[in-house]
A and B are shown apart, each in its own frame.
Chain A
Amino acid sequence: MGMNLRAKLIVIISVAAIFFNFSEVFGIERFPPPDFEPGTYTMPTPTKPPARAYYWEFIDMFLLVAVLSLASYFALRLRSRRHLFWLTLFSIFYFGFIRQGCVCPIGSIQNVTLALFNNNYAVPVSVMFFFLMPLVFTLFFGRTFCAAVCPLGAIQDIVVWKPIKIKPWIENALRIIPFVYLGLAVLFAATGSAFLICEYDPFISFYRLGGSVNMLMLGGIFLLVGMFVGRPYCRFFCPYGAILSLLSRISKWNVYLTGEDCVRCQICDVACPYGAIATPTPESQQPEKTPVNIGNVLALTLITVVVVVAGAAGGGKLSVAFSKMNRTVSLAERIAAEESGKFKDQTDETKAFRQKGGSIDELYSEALKVRDRFAFGGAIFGGFVGLVIGLKLMGALFATQRSIYEPDRASCVACGRCYAYCPKEIIRVRNLQKLVQKK
């Protein structure tokens, strides 16, 4: 066991070293062209890589449906962790390294949003397909997309080592964050300012074998944390996961263990690295003091109204900060700062703007329009966050009463780990094997 401890320490230090050096590995410096005398050298024309062949879109769409179908089959019918693991590796290979994580259903939220708010933007069929198919599958089979299809989930899934158990009430509260992220992503996409989900995708740099130092570091940190807190991005950040968790609650089929045959051994709960096993509801020692009473309901309703109104008011005030992510606004801010003498130097953007002879008045006017849109959108965003908090509170009050351990429909990502540990499932499989042998 001594060796085990030493080995574990070495492993942890090594992994940390790897992650922190990925920035050096992939962040290759650029070098400027040499100084040539005029007329002595013709600079080569930059070449563009050819566009991806059109038929590949259909192959992608076909593979998405195929892998979703297989994941659903493996998770719900075959109930095989082993099959799901190999499918996970395939997704890492194809949707991760080959497709380089783009377009992924998570990011497609922004394409769809932008198309809804900007008539000049059309969503490609394949992007819409990638956005919709996991939603449709979730409505039928639960979060099988998360199980073995999503490359972001897959890379986190294979590094899980010693997952710690997070208290359900902490986990429940932290699951507000994906909705906040979802609201922000929609707000920034709707205003045509940024695709936040893509810009801050922590794993895309790994799949592309290159990226900014900061993002590589962020990805490294997520994977490092992911060794001890299973799928931290999926559980506490993923905005698409937030949508899927809602749909999964009403899915036709979902991951299922033993039902009423549950012996409450708790093994599935410990085996699940993602805290997705719902535990039996504690029994009220004094039934008359149940939290579900008219006083609490009224109080929570009032709190919900207050946080929605406060959120809307506060969200609107974030317009100045948020709008700086917009290129027009950031250029206008910089030009205004240069004009006021705050900056003596010019950026490439301001130089280009000035050399083109752009009208500063028009730029300011356009920037203020964008800021107005952010003020309106920010208010809606703030109200939305307030509503999520209110509904979470209501959810805590009206928690589903259960007497057994079973996968939570909203948070279970159908990874299939619990099957291998559930004693009833083991008996079921053995009986099945015996039946097959007899036949």
Chain B
Amino acid sequence: MNKENTNAQSKSACAVSNPQQIRQDIGLKTAAIAGIFCALIAVMMLISHIYFKANHPLNSHQIAQLKQRLVDAPNDESLKIQIRKLDLELRAAHERHIRFVKLGKNLLIAGGILFVASIQFAFWKRRICILKNKNKTQTAESEFYRSAGAILLIGLCLATVGFVIVKNTTTELPSSMEAMKKTAVSAIEYLPSYEDFIRQWPRFRGPFGDGTAVYTNLPIKWDVESGLNLLWKVAVPSNGFNSPIVWKERVFISAGTAHKREVFCYSVEDGRLLWQKAIENVPGSPQKVPEIPDYTGYAAATMATDGIRVFVIFANNDLAALDFNGNIVWSKYLGEPKNPHGHAASLVTYKNMLLVQLDQGEAEDKLSKLYAFDTATGKTIWQKPRPVSSSWATPLVFEHQGLAQIATLSVPYAIGYSVTDGTELWRYEGLSGEVTPSPIYSNGRLFIISPSDKMIAINPQSRGDITKSVLWTSEENVPDVTSPTATKDYVFSITTMGVLTCLNAENGKKVWEKNYEKDFHSSPTLIGDKLYLISQNGDVYVVKVSDKYEEISAFKMGDKFHASPAVSNDKFYLRGEKYLYCIGNKTVVASK
């Protein structure tokens, strides 16, 4: 009886009644109409999507070209109008696209709802036909083994996926901090702390690039003849105008001719030459070097160090990194030099970056670049083309309100870059001549010089074109070779002809001036409240930092000086044409 019931019920479930059939047909047809409607909308949107992707406003070459032209000609008003017009058109097109997408979205939602409703209507109660119970042929054993097999297969799949993931995962991090120190994946962890860095003289004009030092206990008088406060002197090659740099127990200078270019390392203790290394066979560098005028020479640029390696650049564009034992770590050729006087901009380091300002040719030649190289490997971290002509000023890295910037000077622009990626932050137009004095940063102000023309104070917080928004401009005795130095209140500069000028740092007004009537190439150095000046003929002047001129001492050294002093551990390191001098207070040094 039960069996008969079952059959009857099954048949009844399988039976297709007319109302059910009609219901299914209506539902399916409505779903089909809704689906076609949605598909049409979808196709239109797809076409719109493909077209929009191909002509995306953000990838407009036209606007990119116009913007590039604006960089070269920032005051071209017609260009600005063109950019604005095109920008507006692109935005309008984008808005139209968004409106279209929104409309399509709403229509799709409506179509989707109709589609789901139709499906539900058609299959609210499906017909179910039972033809055969296949389970009857199965056994408990086969069921178990199939289940177990499938479970183990899933486990195997998971294990395979895990294995593939492990095998294909690479990491830049070491397995532990100890391993990190051993493998030295990056030199950054060994780089000196800021406190270490400022106690050395790691670049041209010191850790701050402004001729100031953290040491104050230096002699105000010395005498090479009698040996007063002269700790040692050692003969050095004359063919190099670069200044010494100092890192702990070593002093470094470079020298070069058309035939040989070398790095020299001396001991700070006694001036002993620890090693000298010729920079040769630089990959890509031609054997025949360009002719460089003697007044600049092949080694005018001062070296730099990151605390692990020293870096040197010569006028033939050979760049090299050496370890403290004189082994070359890496070297590279920066291309054919196009500099009428020869390259002279010094090297600068910032953490793991070596910054090279290589300004060449005329602005329209588009040869000038600013490079950031990895100090450990020499690989380019970033590089930026510069719309400027040749220059000889050293770039300055400084931190203002938490942001590290690079200030660069050339003709016609002074440009500020973000040190992390070289993004341009600000630009000042109006430098002229042969830009050699380097910028300095003091007390929240950046001081830049257009040689023999004007000194300009800039707020480094400014962005964009800052030509018309500088803090002040001074035309008082503007130097053409030497770089300035500054205290919180005053800015000091000295011209090649020997006119020392003190300006008010806040407003640029002249406070006083002093004409030594001597030639100066060496930039002033500020030690505490004393200003040290050395003329080309070895006249040394020590002047008190004050609102009036006050000479503390004046004496002569028997050599010629073009380089600026280095200061470390209460000692001066002065490079003359013949000797490298170490000057320090003998009694204090002895007591130490």
Contact indicator B151/A396 (Cβ below 8 Å)? yes
**CB of B453, distance to nearest CB on chain A (Å):** 25
Contacts of A280 in B (CB 8 A): 135
- Binary contact readout A326-349 vs B (1 if CB under 8 angstroms, 0 otherwise): 000100111011111110111000
- Binary contact readout B21-58 vs A (1 if CB under 8 angstroms, 0 otherwise): 00011001101101110110111011011000000111
* Nearest neighbor of B10 in chain A, beta-carbon distance: A265
Q: Is B464 part of the contact surface with A, judged by Cβ < 8 Å?
A: yes
Of A28, A85, A172, which one neighbours B147 at CB under 8 angstroms?
A172
**CB of A271, distance to nearest CB on chain B (Å):** 6
> Which B residues, 361 to 378, have Cβ-Cβ distances below 8 Å to chain A?
374, 376-377
Asked if A265 meets B130 with Cβ closer than 8 Å, knowing A284-B140, A318-B165, A364-B180, the reply is: yes
**Which of A15-23, A130-138, A139-147, A429-437 forms contacts with chain B?**
A15-23
Contacts of A15 in B (CB 8 A): 35, 38, 115
Q: What separation, in Å, do the CA atoms of A129 and B577 have in the docked complex?
A: 83
Contact indicator B101/A7 (Cβ below 8 Å)? no
Q: What separation, in Å, do the CA atoms of A280 and B139 have in the docked complex?
A: 11
Contact indicator A291/B25 (Cβ below 8 Å)? no
Q: Is B462 part of the contact surface with A, judged by Cβ < 8 Å?
A: yes
Q: Is A192 part of the contact surface with B, judged by Cβ < 8 Å?
A: no
Contacts of A315 in B (CB 8 A): 162
Q: Is B18 part of the contact surface with A, judged by Cβ < 8 Å?
A: no
Q: Is B284 part of the contact surface with A, judged by Cβ < 8 Å?
A: no
Contact indicator A25/B173 (Cβ below 8 Å)? no
> Which B residues, 309 to 332, have Cβ-Cβ distances below 8 Å to chain A?
none
* Nearest neighbor of A361 in chain B, beta-carbon distance: B189
Q: Is A263 part of the contact surface with B, judged by Cβ < 8 Å?
A: yes
Contact indicator A17/B185 (Cβ below 8 Å)? no
Contact indicator A31/B58 (Cβ below 8 Å)? yes
Q: What separation, in Å, do the CA atoms of A282 and B148 have in the docked complex?
A: 16
Most buried by B among A35, A365, A371, A421: A35
**CB of B385, distance to nearest CB on chain A (Å):** 15
Contact indicator B32/A21 (Cβ below 8 Å)? no
Contact indicator B420/A8 (Cβ below 8 Å)? no
* Nearest neighbor of A336 in chain B, beta-carbon distance: B172
Contact indicator B9/A423 (Cβ below 8 Å)? yes
**Which of B152-160, B241-249, B480-488 forms contacts with chain A?**
B152-160
* Nearest neighbor of A280 in chain B, beta-carbon distance: B135
Contact indicator B382/A344 (Cβ below 8 Å)? yes
Contact indicator A25/B172 (Cβ below 8 Å)? no
Most buried by A among B119, B129, B379: B119
* Nearest neighbor of A161 in chain B, beta-carbon distance: B119
Contact indicator A341/B377 (Cβ below 8 Å)? yes
**Which of A49-57, A61-69, A105-113, A385-393 forms contacts with chain B?**
A385-393
Q: Could you tell me how many residues of chain B have their Cβ less than 8 Å away from some Cβ of chain A?
A: 108
**CB of A64, distance to nearest CB on chain B (Å):** 24
Of B32, B119, B154, B382, which one neighbours A177 at CB under 8 angstroms?
B154
* Nearest neighbor of B143 in chain A, beta-carbon distance: A282
Contact indicator B112/A18 (Cβ below 8 Å)? yes
Contact indicator A340/B172 (Cβ below 8 Å)? yes
Contacts of B87 in A (CB 8 A): 34-35
Of A7, A168, A356, which one neighbours B29 at CB under 8 angstroms?
A7
**CB of B197, distance to nearest CB on chain A (Å):** 13
Contacts of A340 in B (CB 8 A): 172, 185-186, 377
Contact indicator A28/B101 (Cβ below 8 Å)? yes
Contact indicator A267/B141 (Cβ below 8 Å)? no
Q: Is B588 part of the contact surface with A, judged by Cβ < 8 Å?
A: no
Q: Is A290 part of the contact surface with B, judged by Cβ < 8 Å?
A: yes
Contact indicator B421/A342 (Cβ below 8 Å)? no
**CB of B13, distance to nearest CB on chain A (Å):** 6
Contact indicator B31/A11 (Cβ below 8 Å)? yes
Contacts of A234 in B (CB 8 A): none
Contact indicator B151/A355 (Cβ below 8 Å)? no
Q: Is A98 part of the contact surface with B, judged by Cβ < 8 Å?
A: no
> Which A residues, 299 to 347, have Cβ-Cβ distances below 8 Å to chain B?
300, 307, 310, 314-315, 317-318, 320-321, 324, 329, 332-334, 336-342, 344-346
* Nearest neighbor of B123 in chain A, beta-carbon distance: A161
Of A17, A283, A345, A399, which one neighbours B421 at CB under 8 angstroms?
A345
Contact indicator A8/B28 (Cβ below 8 Å)? yes
Contact indicator A346/B421 (Cβ below 8 Å)? yes
Contact indicator A291/B141 (Cβ below 8 Å)? yes
* Nearest neighbor of B102 in chain A, beta-carbon distance: A28
Contact indicator B188/A360 (Cβ below 8 Å)? yes
Contact indicator A344/B139 (Cβ below 8 Å)? no
Q: Is A368 part of the contact surface with B, judged by Cβ < 8 Å?
A: yes
* Nearest neighbor of A310 in chain B, beta-carbon distance: B159
| A-B interface pairs (CB < 8 A), number | 279
**CB of A378, distance to nearest CB on chain B (Å):** 10
> Which A residues, 1 to 37, have Cβ-Cβ distances below 8 Å to chain B?
3-4, 6-8, 10-11, 13-15, 17-18, 20-22, 24-26, 28-29, 31-32, 34-35, 37
Contact indicator A28/B112 (Cβ below 8 Å)? no
Contact indicator B189/A360 (Cβ below 8 Å)? yes
Contacts of A159 in B (CB 8 A): 116, 119
Asked if A21 meets B42 with Cβ closer than 8 Å, knowing A4-B28, A420-B125, the reply is: yes
Contact indicator A284/B141 (Cβ below 8 Å)? yes
Q: Is A295 part of the contact surface with B, judged by Cβ < 8 Å?
A: no
Asked if A344 meets B150 with Cβ closer than 8 Å, knowing A11-B28, A22-B108, A263-B9, the reply is: no
Asked if A174 meets B154 with Cβ closer than 8 Å, knowing A31-B57, A341-B379, the reply is: yes
* Nearest neighbor of A337 in chain B, beta-carbon distance: B172
Contact indicator A14/B39 (Cβ below 8 Å)? yes
Q: What separation, in Å, do the CA atoms of A23 and B428 have in the docked complex?
A: 46
Asked if A291 meets B140 with Cβ closer than 8 Å, knowing A337-B172, A368-B173, A368-B177, the reply is: yes
Of B91, B115, B185, B377, which one neighbours A336 at CB under 8 angstroms?
B185
Asked if A169 meets B166 with Cβ closer than 8 Å, knowing A336-B185, A337-B172, the reply is: no
Q: Is B287 part of the contact surface with A, judged by Cβ < 8 Å?
A: no
Most buried by A among B38, B48, B188, B376: B188
Contact indicator A14/B105 (Cβ below 8 Å)? no
Contact indicator A321/B169 (Cβ below 8 Å)? yes
Contact indicator B188/A14 (Cβ below 8 Å)? no
**CB of A345, distance to nearest CB on chain B (Å):** 7
Of A7, A25, A31, A365, which one neighbours B31 at CB under 8 angstroms?
A7
Q: What separation, in Å, do the CA atoms of A339 and B469 have in the docked complex?
A: 37
Q: What separation, in Å, do the CA atoms of A333 and B130 have in the docked complex?
A: 59
**CB of B212, distance to nearest CB on chain A (Å):** 22
Asked if A17 meets B43 with Cβ closer than 8 Å, knowing A7-B29, A26-B105, A158-B116, the reply is: yes
Asked if A169 meets B104 with Cβ closer than 8 Å, knowing A31-B91, A340-B172, A360-B188, the reply is: no
- Binary contact readout B134-147 vs A (1 if CB under 8 angstroms, 0 otherwise): 01101111111111
* Nearest neighbor of A6 in chain B, beta-carbon distance: B32
Q: Is B78 part of the contact surface with A, judged by Cβ < 8 Å?
A: no
Contacts of A34 in B (CB 8 A): 87, 91
Asked if A333 meets B404 with Cβ closer than 8 Å, knowing A32-B58, A307-B155, the reply is: no
Contact indicator A37/B119 (Cβ below 8 Å)? no
Contact indicator B172/A281 (Cβ below 8 Å)? no
Q: What separation, in Å, do the CA atoms of A423 and B13 have in the docked complex?
A: 9
Q: Is B403 part of the contact surface with A, judged by Cβ < 8 Å?
A: yes
* Nearest neighbor of A158 in chain B, beta-carbon distance: B116
* Nearest neighbor of A426 in chain B, beta-carbon distance: B9
Of B144, B151, B462, which one neighbours A176 at CB under 8 angstroms?
B151
Contact indicator B379/A344 (Cβ below 8 Å)? yes
Contact indicator B104/A25 (Cβ below 8 Å)? yes
Contact indicator A397/B154 (Cβ below 8 Å)? no
Q: In the complex, given contacts A11-B119, A314-B166, A321-B166, what are 20 additional A-B residue pairs having Cβ atoms less than 8 angstroms apart?
A: A13-B39, A18-B42, A21-B46, A28-B98, A39-B469, A159-B116, A161-B119, A170-B150, A172-B147, A209-B105, A267-B10, A318-B166, A339-B188, A339-B376, A340-B185, A340-B186, A340-B377, A386-B155, A396-B147, A423-B6
5 cross-chain pairs, A with B, having the tightest CB-CB distances, nearest first: A14-B35, A173-B150, A336-B172, A339-B186, A396-B147
- What are 18 A-to-B residue pairs whose CB atoms are below 8 Å? A14-B34, A18-B38, A21-B41, A21-B49, A29-B56, A159-B116, A173-B151, A209-B105, A263-B6, A267-B128, A281-B143, A321-B166, A324-B171, A340-B172, A344-B381, A361-B189, A392-B151, A399-B144
